[in-house]
Structure 1
Amino acid sequence: MLMNKNSGPSNGEAKLQYGPSGFRVLRPGNHVFCAMSGVPIPLEELRYWSVEHQEAYASAQLATERLAP
């Protein structure tokens, strides 16, 4: 995860760019929303995302469901 040192903690939704081994914070915030369930995911708990779709998932099960053929 790459965070801008000059951007202090911020409440609200973050805007992220998802990469294969981490993500970059484009707009500070403390959470993102799961693309499947809509639940907020605190950034420190974010473990699952799609680089191709540029979206986050709250669990491995939801990520698997979304990415299944």
Structure 2
Amino acid sequence: MLMSNTDRPARLHFMANGFRVLAPGDHVLCAVSRARIPLDDLRYWSVAEQAAYASAAIASEAMAPR
């Protein structure tokens, strides 16, 4: 039986120039907004936090010094 990755969150390991899929899926959730991000649209993440972000603005806000 084939398993579909549709509507299943992926588990990723974020690296400086990309990411490695640890568990297959079709999306990840934004660490701040909890918005669903399709893997094909994932552009912003933090290697240190191992977190995905939905937009550049959200990523900048999350990584800003406090």
TM over 0.5: yes
Residue 9 of structure 1 and its aligned partner are, at CA, apart by 5.7
Residue 61 in structure 1 maps to residue 57 in structure 2? yes
Percent identity over the alignment? 53
The RMSD of aligned alpha carbons is: 1.2
Spell out structure 1 runs of 4+ moving beyond 3 A: none
**Distance in 2 between the 1:68 and 1:24 partners?**
25
Ranges in structure 2 where 5+ consecutive residues have no aligned partner: none
TM-score (norm 1): 0.86
Number of aligned pairs?
A: 62
Q: Do the aligned residues in 2 keep the contact of 1:9 with 1:28 (CA within 8 Å)?
A: no
Larger gyration radius, structure 1 or structure 2: 2
What stretches of structure 1 of length at least 5 have no aligned partner? Answer: 1-7
> Are 2:47 and 1:51 equivalent residues in the alignment?
yes
* Matched residue type, 1:60: A
